[in-house]
Amino acid sequence: MENLKSLFIFLLSILFLSGTADAGWREECNFGGNAQFNIIHARPYLSTLCPSSTGRQICTILDLSYCLMNSHGHLIATINGHFERSCKDCRLTGANATILSCGCRMFGKNAPYQATEVDLECFITIGQPGDMGKPLPRLWNKDPGSMLFSHGAIEGRKAFTLLEMKSTLVAAFIVGGCLGPSNAKSLWSRSPAGYGPDNSNEYLLKTGYPVGNGKLGVISFGAPVSEKLNLNVDSLWSGGPFESSDYSGGNPTESKHSALPEIRAAIFRDGTGGLSPLLGAGEHYGSNRVLGNVTINIPELGSYSDYKRSLDLKIGVHTTQFTSGEAELTTSLFCSYPDQVCIYHIKSTSALPTVAVGFENLLTSQNLTTVTCKGNSVQLTGYTHADPSQGMKFSAVARTLGGSASTSCSDSGHLVIRPSKAHKSQAVVIAAETNYDQKKGNKKAGYSFRGQDPAPVVSQTASKAASKKFETLYSRHLNDYQALQGAFQLELPDTRHSSEVETAALFSNYDWTGSGDPFLESLLFDYSRHLLISSSRDNSLPTNLLGRWTERIESAWGADYHANINLQMNYWGAEQTGLAATEDSLWNYMQDTWVPRGTDTAKLLYDADGWVVHNEMNIFGHTAMKEGAEWANYPAAGAWMMQHVWDRFEYSQDIDWMRKQGYPLLKGIAQFWVSQLQEDWFFNDGTLVVNPCNSPETGPTTFGCTHYQQLIHQVFDNILSSADLVGDKDKAFLRKVATSLARLDTGLHFTTWGGLKEWKLPDSYGYDGKSTHRHLSHLVGWYPGYSISSYADGYTNMTIQDAVRETLISRGLGNAEDANAGWAKVWRAACWARLNDTEMAYKELRYAIDTNFADNGFSMYTALNPPFQVDANFGLAGAVLSMLVVDLPLSYRVNAERTVVLGPAIPAAWGNGSVSGLRVRGGISLDFKWDENGVVTKAVTTSSSKSMRKIVFVNMRGEKLAEA
């Protein structure tokens, strides 16, 4: 072979980290003279000279010794010029002299040098352009001063750089040597995931590593000779209209609002009361359920050794590697959003053995499922219950990719794949779907939620994917996944060399009373974002209580949507880290399943305009109350969700989206509360309060619950901030909002012991004593909201801060008798961070990791005991972001510059770290870094503000770092 071709799998994420894709130009580069890979002063560079869309010449230099090793590199774009990173003492090491080791500065002239290294073997292949595969052995000159690449040549042979730069870089084809186990930013283990009892350490949801594409979720488990893929599809639910033709979403057949006047009068008279006439039931509510297992049997392999599995968070691929006999085998598993399939790929250094693929579900009646095998595919079809005319239908298909292997069907219904002797790899695509249709959840469709037959749909999806080459499927997945995962980067020091330690050992050795482990903490942050990318996309349902991964027919809490903290927490990390695309499913779900039936609920229970939902929602429009007032009486769910709607607009400044989808949702909630607020006849202070109300899952049915008042405060303010922007001409409605806001009790009251009150009732009623309850409902306006922290100037008001502090001290670490849940702990960490209390924020974060996070990084509900509940995984990202930045909106009344605080609670253990791609309200992105004490020393905005308001960035010392 006469040519070299270098392939750079990480360049896609690097571009997004740098903000080049949003920098105002678009580079059009292809290989052939305008891209060079060379060594300059013992450092490897990729340089380009490209015309931009504006006609200017864009020069870029990418220092590979910095960014490939440090995983924090930037492709620095300049106009008619170029930059370079500062690295020194570069040398080649390793058996094949392919490991490049350097000392590189993180930022600037005065930054310390950091030892870094990367194995370049995975980035260099020998062959003609278009060839796949051989690594570059013993070709490098070990003299660090020599020219490894000189004007695109090595040892006299041409070097080709394939570079397609538009808004992204294509990084395809690496599927052999490079698509293998990785330690850095990976979870990994030396033993297969188990399927033991829930209370054992071999429990699937404590050992397996998840992948997904929003709609599908998969966890690999079992030995490689008999591997299984736990398969879930988002809409596979029992219950609803598929189980009962007269399902009503919990709504009564007749209105109940006539009971409200008496309920309200009794509460104002006595301070507390009941609302039993409004309560409902949860018949046919249903549960999200597992579809089944894809079985992969390779009986010819027998025993195996040198086993390792990993989940690489940079590329969203699960990989296993093992040895059997003389052969080394690698399997890869990922779920592609662009192609709507999951792909299983197996590769061997010897001839590939026979592989048998099938489906199983041992938890359901076998009379409800049928497995058929034909040609090059095997298909499972089934129903959720015995009446096929009503039960939800589901189907899944596994189909071979490529035509170089022969296939047949076994007597047991398995697809048997027999490769030729020259055949060393094989891929299988997996598709799944149900006949659920979210768009049919309205009155016009009879609330049927019934869509098309899924069997031909999945066959067509699988066939379409199978028509592509594996390299194409992988490349499309990689481009999509890294566009999201690479949009944000948190870099913390690996002071303990934890990337070299098996993940389960990291968790078992983690001690919250110690100094922490920055690598594990940043790993869990990246894992949070991986889970969100994998479980929530625009064509799926939102991520539920279990994300997209259950192994049960009846999941804990139905794996539904609890909206008094859990659903909200799932999306805490989305906007600020460039994952807004994962929220589209949330807006669509609310619009399609909450608003239609919720409009009926508002009329039937409250005689109200707008729409309302309560605490627990399924996928069939259950919007009414269930049985118990303490937890079911929660009409504030929609108001809390509107904070996410407002955040979406604030961070994106997308007026078109706000006008079409965001504002209509927000207005419906505001209409409901304008019609429901009551003048306070208990205190007779002229304020407007909610009556009746229950603070989530604790205390009495009463009036003026702090939680509600804060959320309504935010909703009304958001309406008045955005009405003119979207062109709302409903003057009567806007007058009502403004009048109601002027009289609203905003829920800011103090207890006799110095904390924030949870109820407006006098302390003498005995409800506002010190409590260790898991919820922090009366702090919702502190974090994640802003009624207290911003609108009431709480972030700069010592009286309010002291009350928040006393409340958090009273609430404890989140391990009281009522629960020992991870979500309660990370919420506390975030609240402490907003107090700028680094010690307590980091302490609470460490406590959550030590107490609730299992060996695979999943958070358990009761310490390390199941059930798994994903909200703490997502909430951890929110807590970390709260430690990194305070970015509060201003009230519609305020017309002033806004201050963003960088590094309010960064611990010294994270010293000399950095962030790239942080999103800030106003449509801004920025990068920043901090010193060894956690004080931010440099910040650079990487995109301009889309807001009219000036923004100033300061650190904890008040030092101005940047403005936009």
What's the pLDDT tens digit per position in 198-224?
889 999 999 999 999 999 999 999 999
CA distances in angstroms from 148 to 10, 41, 99, 103, 129, listed in the order given: 21, 11, 13, 19, 20
Tokens for 220, please give them.
């690999």
Cα–Cα distance for residue pair 545/149, rounded to 1 Å: 52
Residue type, 350: S
- The answer to whether 329 touches 224, Cβ cutoff 8 Å, is yes
Tokens for 270, please give them.
């006595």
Cα–Cα distance for residue pair 646/641, rounded to 1 Å: 9
Residue 388: pLDDT band with limits 50, 70, 90:
low
Quote the pTM value. Answer: 0.84
Tokens for 518, please give them.
């920055």
Q: pLDDT per residue over 222-252, tens digit each?
A: 999 899 999 999 999 999 999 999 999 999 9
Q: pLDDT per residue over 77-109, tens digit each?
A: 322 233 334 445 555 555 555 555 555 544 444
Give yes or no for a cis peptide into 867 (omega within 30° of 0).
Answer: yes
Residue 116: pLDDT band with limits 50, 70, 90:
low
Cross-strand pairs, 324: 327
On the question of pLDDT at 179 being above 90, the answer is no
Query: What length is written for the chain?
Result: 964
CB-CB neighbours of 106 under 10 Å: 20
C-alpha distance across the termini of the chain, in Å: 53
- Give the mean pLDDT of 776-798: 98
Q: What whole-number percentage of the chain has pLDDT above 90? A: 75
**Predicted pLDDT at 276:** 95
**Predicted pLDDT at 134:** 33
Beta-sheet pairing, 57-63 with 43-51: antiparallel
- Give the mean pLDDT of 487-498: 94
Cα–Cα distance for residue pair 766/702, rounded to 1 Å: 13
- Residue 159, phi then psi, degrees to nearest 5: -115, 125
Q: pLDDT per residue over 512-550, tens digit each?
A: 999 999 999 999 999 999 999 999 999 999 999 999 999
Beta-sheet pairing, 561-562 with 305-312: unpaired
**Predicted pLDDT at 575:** 97
- Give the mean pLDDT of 110-124: 48
Q: Left if phi > 0, otherwise alpha if psi is -120 to 50, otherwise beta: which for 699?
A: left
- Give the mean pLDDT of 799-823: 95
Residue 748: pLDDT band with limits 50, 70, 90:
very high
Residue 41: pLDDT band with limits 50, 70, 90:
very low
DSSP tag of 340: T
Q: pLDDT per residue over 59-79, tens digit each?
A: 444 444 333 333 333 333 322
Full strand arrangement of the beta sheet holding 87-93: 87-93, 99-105, 113-119
- Residue 82, phi then psi, degrees to nearest 5: -155, 160
Burial of 376 (0-12, 13-18, 19+ CB in 10 A): buried
- Give the mean pLDDT of 365-391: 91
Cα–Cα distance for residue pair 309/324, rounded to 1 Å: 15
Q: What is the DSSP string of 404-473?
A: SEEEEE-TTSPEEEEE-TT--EEEEEEEEEESB-GGG-STTTTT--B---HHHHHHHHHHHHHTS-HHHH
CA distances in angstroms from 248 to 276, 283, 440, 446, 893, listed in the order given: 19, 10, 14, 10, 42
- Give the mean pLDDT of 738-754: 98
User: By C-alpha distance, which of 464, 483, 491 is closest to 880?
Assistant: 491
**Predicted pLDDT at 817:** 84
| Range name among 92-106, 342-356, 467-481, 650-664 with the lowest pLDDT average | 92-106
| Range name among 126-130, 614-618, 884-888, 915-919 with the lowest pLDDT average | 126-130
**Predicted pLDDT at 117:** 53
Q: What element of type H or E holds 634?
A: none
Residue 376 CA, distance from chain mean position:
35
Cα–Cα distance for residue pair 353/776, rounded to 1 Å: 56
Q: What is the mean pLDDT of the chain?
A: 85
- The answer to whether 658 touches 725, Cβ cutoff 8 Å, is yes
Tokens for 938, please give them.
């440099």
Cα–Cα distance for residue pair 27/220, rounded to 1 Å: 40
Over its C-alpha atoms, the chain yields an Rg (Å, rounded) of 28
Whose structure tokens read 């603070």? 695
Tokens for 786, please give them.
């802003």
**Predicted pLDDT at 94:** 56
Residue 955: pLDDT band with limits 50, 70, 90:
very high
Tokens for 856, please give them.
């695979």
Residues 21, 26, 29, 30: is their CA dihedral positive or negative? positive
Contacts of 155 (CB under 8 A, 6+ apart): 139
Burial of 238 (0-12, 13-18, 19+ CB in 10 A): buried
Residue 640: pLDDT band with limits 50, 70, 90:
very high
- Give the mean pLDDT of 765-777: 96
Beta-sheet pairing, 317-324 with 305-312: antiparallel
Tokens for 826, please give them.
């990370």
On the question of pLDDT at 126 being above 70, the answer is no
On the question of pLDDT at 769 being above 70, the answer is yes
Tokens for 46, please give them.
């990729």
Residue 401: pLDDT band with limits 50, 70, 90:
very high
pLDDT higher for 165 or 692?
Answer: 692
Q: What does the angle CA 672 – CA 678 – CA 679 come to, to the nearest 5 degrees? A: 145
**Predicted pLDDT at 403:** 73
On the question of pLDDT at 892 being above 60, the answer is yes
Q: pLDDT per residue over 274-319, tens digit each?
A: 999 999 999 999 999 999 999 999 988 888 999 999 999 999 999 9
Q: What is the 3-state secondary structure (H, E, C) of 110-165?
A: CCCEEEEEEEHHHHEEECCCCCCCEECCCCCCCCCCCCCCCCCEECCEEEEECCCE
Residue 421: pLDDT band with limits 50, 70, 90:
confident
- The answer to whether 106 touches 927, Cβ cutoff 8 Å, is no
Full strand arrangement of the beta sheet holding 3-6: 134-135, 124-126, 3-6, 157-161, 153-154
User: By C-alpha distance, which of 295, 316, 427, 425 is closest to 361?
Assistant: 295
Q: What element of type H or E holds 733?
A: helix 731-743
CA distances in angstroms from 537 to 186, 214, 259, listed in the order given: 23, 5, 42
